[in-house]
Amino acid sequence: MGEKRFKRIMLKIGGESLLGDREFGIDPKAVLVMAEKIKKVVDKNTEIAIVIGGGNIFRGLSASKNGIDRATADYMGMLATVMNGLALQDALRKVGVQVRTQSALTMPAVSESFIRNKAIRHLEKGRVLILVAGTGMPYVTTDSGAALHALELHCDVLMKATKVDGIYEQDPLKFPDAKRFKTMTFKDAIEKEEVQVMDTGALAMCKENNMPMMVFNLFKEHNLAKAVDGEDIGTYVANDVKTKLV
């Protein structure tokens, strides 16, 4: 491993990462695997905040297209992220990691409410911080919530964990010889139509506030630890780089 580049990270993971072999819901084995990956990073004295999606349980945008009021559907999606966050919290505790969950929606029976100063204090004490319920507002994606929290908590980087190795010039599933971008400017990430790794609002927020982003494959062995160490995996998106293929 090289010299660690990032001290405090915001990790954005999709709810699908908790599916395992299931088509719907939460697979406890998959959650435990995720907890072990996170523990390896915590053991490197990295401060880590996590925003988790809810797509494995409920997708607000899809539901709104099928007749449910958009705001109602988004609130339902927020509740799905709470369920995922509690599952991940339980798994992290099982592997010996100190963890706290904070929610953008007030629900004292299951989590703390999000309080910025308290959240920062948890990170300083070495606790993993799980942030659920997005921003607590409808019409806002969990990607935008992750970008917002990354800025609020003074994270060094927003890490977008996906099932692909980064951003490609073409769809690698359709074009096996497609090349990966090693680095990319936020301007290109926003303007290139083929780049759909994160919603435009989140990218614009990161661009305007100089919050670098790393897009990488979470499911490859040791990739999270390698990303934290600044190794050449995935795609690094920032204002102060050039768009460059591997």
Distance, in Å, from the CA atom of 87 to the CA atom of 82, rounded to the nearest integer, reads 9
Long-range contacts of 133-137 (CB under 8 A, 24+ apart): 133/78, 133/79, 133/81, 133/82, 133/103, 133/104, 133/105, 134/51, 134/74, 134/77, 134/78, 134/81, 134/104, 135/104, 136/78, 136/103, 136/104, 136/105, 137/104
Q: Domains (ranges, CATH) in the chain?
A: 8-245 (3.40.1160.10)
Q: Is 20 left (phi over 0), alpha (psi -120 to 50) or beta?
A: left
Residue 59 has pLDDT above 90, yes or no: no
Considering only 53-62, 131-140, 196-205, which range has the smallest mean pLDDT?
53-62
* DSSP E strand stretches across 21-127: 47-52, 99-103, 112-113
Residues paired with residue 180 on neighbouring β-strands, in sequence order: 168
Confidence of residue 4 (pLDDT cuts 50, 70, 90): low
Backbone angles phi, psi at 213, to 5 degrees: -135, 140
**Tokens matching residue 178:** 């497609």
Specify the pTM: 0.93
pLDDT of amino acid 2 = 43
C-alpha triplet 118, 13, 98: angle, nearest 5°: 40
pLDDT range class, residue 173, cuts 50, 70, 90? confident
